[in-house]
Amino acid sequence: MSPADAPPPKGRRPPDELEVRGIPFRDETEAARAAEAVSERPVPARRITWQKFTVLPSVVALILLATWLWFRGARLDSIARNAIGGGNVWLRLEQHVHLTVVSTFFVLIIAIPLGVLLTRRPLRGAAPVAMAVANIGQATPAIGLLALLVIWLGIGTKAALIGIVVYAVLPVLANTIAGLRAIDPLLTEAARGIGMSPVGVLGRVELPLAVPLILAGVRTALVLNVGTATLAYFGGGGGLGDLIASGITNHRMPVLVLGSVLTVALALLVDWLASLAELLLRPRGLEGGD
Amino acid sequence: MSFWEYVGSRHAQLLADTFQHASAVFQCMVVATLAGVAIGVATYRSEWAGNLAVTAGATLLTIPSLALIGLLVPVTGLGVAPTVTALVLYGLLPIVRNAIVGLRGVDPALVDAAKGIGMSRAARLFRVELPLAWPPILTGIRVSTQMLMGIAAIAAYASGPGLGNEIFRGISSLGSVNALNQVLAGTLGIIVLALGFDAAYVLIGRLTIPRGIRA
């Protein structure tokens, strides 16, 4: 057993583990070194570091800069110029952001209240049904769902928007239900014990405890929706999918790459903003817990 | 034409598409599983490398699939190549994450006990650590497969194989008699495939999760 061989895996380490390790086949020095290794690791503080603020935006900025430099040198024919000229790129970007924001708003005002309702006593029986539906929903391909809605409602932004919302509601709902259920029943019992009304328990105990979870739901919805919004093009909803699709169908690589890079940059930035919000808005008392 | 008549008259084409869809997802999952577990094994011992793998995976996962496929097309051309690359990449991520979490969650006392009875590094890995980390890895495989089913449908736009072609044929002929049938056949086919794979994974879990750690 050389020293380089197998440093103990980090992670969950039971407090009594050192003794188990020390007794049978370790000599003094090795046990002592293991003890040091344990004491060296303080509980990591879940604070915002400067890396969190800077790394991702600078990477995105670099990608955009590189794409722009490459794009200036790329040779564009009339088809490619048509696809990106006349402010079309801005229009598509704007549509994409609009689709993402509006659909996220609807996802949240549908999924979170529904999740709260489904964890109340009278409706608790319906929660497994909702979870089962959510599971089947996950097996449904987004593009198929969107296409069915377009056939049903006609082509346009409305069908695309509904498709995006329906696709994201189920995962956020499942998360909300799981999170509200995971709240220690002792806490809600204690709140009821000191005379809080059901509404008081919900508003002053359960929802504050569920804030991290709700923020995680916001992030999930945003990231999912940026992705599904690329498919909105196939339903006539516009968005950056337009550039990608016309790049593929017309075999114009500059258009395709521009659309893809903008979509990737948008997705990364949205996720980054949501992760910052998650850190900043988390109640102080819950820090350290996950 | 009703949906069932449509399915009846096109069953050869539909079966071929279904088979291609299933086989593309299955093959990519095999590659993704092997590579994902290998990356997990290679990185879980180092805090730095493991966290890097998890963060990189999470970041890649936020990239919309149509955009990733769009970035792959100039490199690989249209067809099977971008589909397979995208599917393997997306399939990797949940498996790597779960492999690292699972391997790190193995009680160090157990690994130490294995060391104590004289097991080599490889034997410890294959006979102690990986079997104990298998349930989360299998969960990762299930999540990946469900995701790949939908991504494979989108990859059909870049001339990939599978049931997505049925859906896009329907979209491009919106308003025609068969548009609904085509979209419905493609979508339902993918749902059935996804549920079938999921059931297979439940069965695989029953058969392969060591009895001692079965919930």
Residue extents of the structural domains in chain B: 12-213
Q: Which residue has the tokens 């690791």?
A: A41
Q: Which domain holds residue A115?
A: 57-286
A285 Cβ neighbours under 8 A, 6+ residues apart: none
Taking only the tens place, the pLDDT of each residue in B130-170 is: 988 998 999 899 989 988 998 999 988 888 888 989 899 88
Mean pLDDT of B66-87: 88
* Partner B contacted by A80 (CB < 8 A): no
Of A144, A228, A264, the CB nearest to B67: A264
Are both A32 and A86 inside the same structural domain?
no
Domain assignment of residue A144, yes or no: yes
Q: Mean pLDDT in chain B? A: 88
Q: Give yes or no: residues A88 and A129 share one domain.
A: yes
CATH architecture observed for domain B12-213? Orthogonal Bundle (1.10)
B159 Cβ contact list (under 8 Å, min separation 6): B78, B79
**In terms of domains, do A76 and A142 share one?**
yes
Residues A189 and A248 in one domain: yes
CB contact under 8 A, A10 and B65: no
Looking at per-residue pLDDT, the higher value among A78 and B83 belongs to B83
For residue A226, list chain B residues with Cβ-Cβ distance below 8 A.
62, 64
pLDDT at residue A289, as a whole number: 47
Q: Are both A70 and A108 inside the same structural domain?
A: yes
**Counted domains in chain A:** 2
CB contact under 8 A, B150 and A271: no
Contacts of B173 (CB under 8 A, 6+ apart): B179, B182
pLDDT digits 0-9 by tens, B26-55: 999 999 999 999 999 999 888 888 888 888
pLDDT at residue A5, rounded to an integer: 42
**A242 and A274 belong to one structural domain:** yes
- B171–A147 C-beta distance less than 8 A: yes
- Contact A141/B149 with Cβ under 8 angstroms? yes
C-alpha distance from A2 to closest chain B C-alpha (Å):
12
- Encoding tokens for residue B141? 């495989």
Of A21-25, B119-123, B179-183, the one with minimum mean pLDDT is A21-25
Same domain for A172 and A241, yes or no, is: yes
A171 in the same domain as A105? yes
Query: What would the mean pLDDT of B77-92 be, rounded to a whole number?
Result: 89
Q: What residues 164-223 of chain A have any CB closer than 8 A to a CB of chain B?
A: 223
Q: Does A4 score more than 70 pLDDT?
A: no
Phi, psi dihedral angles at A47 (to 5 degrees): -100, 165
* Residue B80 reports pLDDT greater than 90: no
Residue corresponding to tokens 């709902």 = A173
User: Which residues are within 8 A (CB) of B196 and not within 5 positions of it... i.e. 6 or more apart?
Assistant: none
Residues A25 and A156 in one domain: no
pLDDT surpassing 90 at residue A89? no
Sign of the C-alpha dihedral, residues B81, B84, B88, B90? positive
User: B71 pLDDT band (50/70/90 cuts)?
Assistant: confident
To the nearest whole number, what is the mean pLDDT of chain A? 76
Of A20, A143, A268, the CB nearest to B164: A143
* pLDDT at position A47: 54
User: What pLDDT, on the 0 to 100 scale, is given for residue A48?
Assistant: 56
A51 domain residue, yes or no: no
What are A134-171's pLDDT values in tens digits? 777 778 888 888 888 888 888 888 888 888 888 888 88
Q: Which residues of A241-276 are buried (b: 16+ CB within 10 A; e: fewer)?
A: bbbbbbbbeeebbbbbbbbbbbbbbbbbbbbbebbe
Which of A49-58, A99-108, A232-241, A245-254 is least confident? A49-58
Answer for the pair B37, B92: CB distance below 8 angstroms, yes or no. no
> Can you give the three-state secondary structure of chain A, one letter per residue?
CCCCCCCCCCCCCCCCHHHHHHCCCCCHHHHHHHHHHHHHCCCCCCCCCHHHHHHHHHHHHHHHHHHHHHHHHCCCCHHHHHHHCCCHHHHHHHHHHHHHHHHHHHHHHHHHHHHHHHCCHHHHHHHHHHHHHHHHHHHCCHHHHHHHHHHHHCCCHHHHHHHHHHHHHHHHHHHHHHHHHCCCHHHHHHHHHCCCCHHHHHHHHHHHHCHHHHHHHHHHHHHHHHHHHHHHHHHCCCCCHHHHHHHHHCCCHHHHHHHHHHHHHHHHHHHHHHHHHHHHHCCHHHCCCC
The percentage of chain A sitting over the pLDDT mark of 90, rounded to a whole number, equals 1
> pLDDT tens digits, residue range A15-63?
444 333 333 333 344 444 444 444 444 444 455 566 667 888 888 888 8
Partner B contacted by A154 (CB < 8 A): no
Q: Is residue A46 part of a domain?
A: no
Per-residue pLDDT, B40: 92
Whether A87 and A220 map to the same domain: the answer is: yes
**Which of A8, A21, A139 is nearest residue B146 as measured by Cβ atoms?**
A139
